[in-house]
Amino acid sequence: MRVLARTLTAAVGVGLLLVHAAVAVAWFVGLQWLLANPPGPATIAVAFLGVVVVAGYVGYRTGTVRLVASLDAVTIPVERAPALYRRLERLCSESQVDQPTLLFADLGAPNALSIGGPRRGVVVLDRRLFKLLTIDELEGILAHELAHMERLDTLWNTLALTAARLLVGAAFALLFPAVVLLAGVERGGAWIAGEPGRSRLGLAGYVRQVVLLGLGALFSLFALGFLAYSRRQEFAADQRAAELTGNPRALAAALAKIHRATTPREGLLAVLYIHDDRTEHRDRRLSTHPPIDERIDRLLANREVSPSERVSRLRPR
């Protein structure tokens, strides 16, 4: 019985190895054919851009709907905040943004985020902001979010992430035969050795891990570039908000108050918030937002302008 069990275990191992090898060979043959008949660089570029634009735009539209639904937000009635709506109407008239839907929700901390672009956008305010900020400070927050919408920041972020995923996916596709074959050697070898339940990290396992770590490092490089771009977006939105309101000190005061009252936000949603407290606790290169003190310093360097001066400076960037 022991010999029979040992034989069956080895047979399973050989079968696993053969299946993985067959998949790897088939994929490799397909890659060989593709490399032997490569499309022109222009065709590759057009196809890549087409996939990025279509996939990114679909993700942008569907993601916006899902995100609003997940926040359990409700519309802010005009009669509850008439002064805020008057400020919003004026800001929209001076920018290239249609008046967005104003929602309030429990974001877990006093914060704000914008969803969508200059048409059919949404601004979500945490309920705590209405107690924490003055009307001038709330106007600064609204202007900041409108600036993101005016610049199509959410769409550009979605396209950038889509492009990064496609590039990493293409790299993985090139290395897929090696990854599959090495996985077959590792798993099949364990069965052949009679230890299918044990994790045996031999040479094949180490090489496979190195390949996967290399792909992870490639994606990390793209992620660092995206985070740096996101921080520049925040500076640009702050500057545009200062131009729209003519009152940079109000936005600076709002950021300071939010900073003191905010706990760190985690996950991809952090890129949408007006403030990310992680800048004070971790490597700033890993944050979606620049340091709050730097943002405040830049805002305070702007002098307040009169309405007539503001009109002459209000040009979309």
Report pLDDT digits (tens) over 187-234: 888 888 777 766 555 666 677 778 778 888 888 888 888 888 889 999
pLDDT at 266 over 60: no
pTM of the shown model = 0.76
pLDDT at 296: 93
pLDDT at 149 over 90: yes
Torsions phi, psi of 143, nearest 5?
-60, -40
Overall average pLDDT of the 143-171 stretch: 91
Residue 132 to residue 299: CA distance in whole angstroms = 20
CB atoms within 10 A of CB 300: 14
Active site residue 145: yes
Segment among 167-176, 220-229, 255-264 with least mean pLDDT:
255-264
Q: Which of 137, 139, 145, 243 is labelled catalytic? A: 145
pLDDT at 317 over 50: no
Segment among 167-171, 215-219, 242-246 with least mean pLDDT:
215-219
CB atoms within 10 A of CB 218: 15
Distance of CA 311 to the CA centre of its chain: 34
- CA-based radius of gyration for the chain: 26
Question: Could you tell me the CA-to-CA distances from 41 to 44, 160, 230, 269 in Å, in that order?
Answer: 5, 21, 30, 36
Q: Where are the alpha helices (DSSP H) in 106-261?
A: 129-132, 135-150, 153-192, 203-245, 248-261
CB atoms within 10 A of CB 298: 16
Residue 283 to residue 149: CA distance in whole angstroms = 28
Residue 10 to residue 16: CA distance in whole angstroms = 10
Residues comprising the chain, all counted:
317
pLDDT at 6 over 60: yes
pLDDT at 316: 44
Residue 155 to residue 60: CA distance in whole angstroms = 6
CB atoms within 10 A of CB 168: 17
Are the CB atoms for 274 and 167 separated by under 8 Å? no
Q: Where are the domains of the chain?
A: 1-66+159-317
Are the CB atoms for 88 and 99 separated by under 8 Å? yes
pLDDT at 35 over 60: yes
Which position has the token pair 């672009």?
117
